[in-house]
């Protein structure tokens, strides 16, 4: 599964053969394979939205990948924002019934969501801190020292901080440095370095956003991108599978699969 921010842009890149296979040891490119199964997803307002996402197949390894929009979670009949509504309600103290009422979903379903996030809360928190820290916003991940909260609440708090960093820092290009009237000695080198750092972070996250669609993501959709579609299926330990948060890197941006690159993957254990 590949989480995509802009399905139309992803489809165009796929048709052009510009998407690299996300499998860790594969150098192949993806091509259009077939439409995935039709699914109906419940939105926060209770309405259901029907979609049939694209499915790609790697020319080299033959593995297929569904290109799922960021407003969807894999194998869930409820949208990312609906699930997020329940998580936020629980983080604010609601029980299963209250969170279910807030999300408009059955109590048993919401209980499964909350338990899933509770089990993987330490890993999700660590992932969020990694992202926010890379953007210089790690301090916002931690609740105030006087607050006592559950692991789920801590994870939601940290994920919110990571989404904020994503919107405010990671996906917004810094203004181009301006050259003063002098002979070029007053270039804002800090701005240049800052922009290089931002681009490197996105590269390390394997996140590309050629159309700027990421700026329109809701906070929970951004969290879905940052957790590579694994908000409800994150592993408890440190062996998070390598994945593609936004959409697969274009061929020319493919990172080298050496030890150094692998070590800076987001959401690997810190």
Can you give the binding site for Zn ion, defined by CB under 5 A? 21, 23, 26, 28, 58, 60-61
Tokens describing residue 93: 């103290």
Find the shortest distance in angstroms from Cβ 243 to Zn ion.
Answer: 14
CB of 123 to Zn ion, least distance (A): 26
Closer by beta carbon to Zn ion, 56 or else 124: 56
From the CB of 22, what's the least distance to Zn ion, in Å?
8
Kindly state the smallest distance separating residue 141's Cβ from Zn ion, in Å: 34
Pick between residue 23 and residue 204 the one whose CB is nearest to Zn ion.
23
From residue 112, how far is each of 107, 117, 120, 210, 234 by CA, in Å?
9, 9, 12, 36, 13
| 195 vs 190: CA distance, rounded Å | 9
Instruction: Name the residue nearer to Zn ion (CB basis): 64 or 211.
Output: 64
Going by C-alpha positions, the residue among 247, 232, 244 that lies closest to residue 86 is 232
Quick one: 26 or 107, whose CB is closer to Zn ion? Answer: 26
DSSP 216-251: G--HHHHHHHHTTT-TTT--SSS-PPP--SSSPPBG
Query: With contact defined as beta carbons under 8 Å apart, do 17 and 261 qualify?
Result: no
């Amino acid at each position: 599964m590949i989480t995509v921010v802009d399905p139309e842009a992803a489809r165009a890149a796929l048709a052009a053969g510009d998407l690299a296979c996300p499998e860790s040891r594969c150098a192949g490119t993806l091509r259009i394979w077939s439409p995935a199964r039709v699914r109906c997803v419940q939105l926060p307002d209770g309405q259901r939205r029907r979609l049939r996402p694209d499915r790609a197949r790697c020319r080299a390894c033959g593995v297929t990948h569904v290109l799922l929009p960021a407003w969807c979670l894999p194998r869930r009949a409820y949208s990312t924002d609906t699930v997020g509504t329940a998580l936020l309600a629980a983080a604010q103290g609601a029980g299963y019934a209250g969170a279910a009422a807030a999300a408009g979903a059955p109590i048993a379903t919401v209980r499964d969501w909350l338990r899933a996030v509770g089990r993987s809360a330490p890993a999700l928190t660590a992932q969020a801190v990694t992202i926010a820290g890379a953007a210089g916003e790690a301090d916002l991940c931690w609740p105030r020292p006087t607050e006592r909260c559950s692991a789920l609440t801590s994870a939601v708090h940290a994920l919110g901080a990571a989404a904020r960093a994503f919107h405010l820092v990671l996906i917004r290009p810094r203004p181009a440095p301006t050259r003063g009237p002098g002979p070029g000695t007053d270039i804002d080198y800090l701005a240049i370095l800052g922009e290089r750092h931002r681009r490197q972070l996105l590269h390390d996250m394997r996140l590309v956003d050629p159309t700027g669609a990421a700026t329109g993501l809701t906070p929970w959709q951004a969290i879905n991108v940052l957790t590579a579609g694994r908000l409800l299926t994150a592993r408890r330990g440190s062996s998070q599978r390598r994945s593609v948060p936004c959409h697969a890197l274009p061929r020319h941006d493919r990172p080298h699969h050496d030890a150094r690159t692998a070590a800076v993957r987001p959401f690997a254990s810190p």
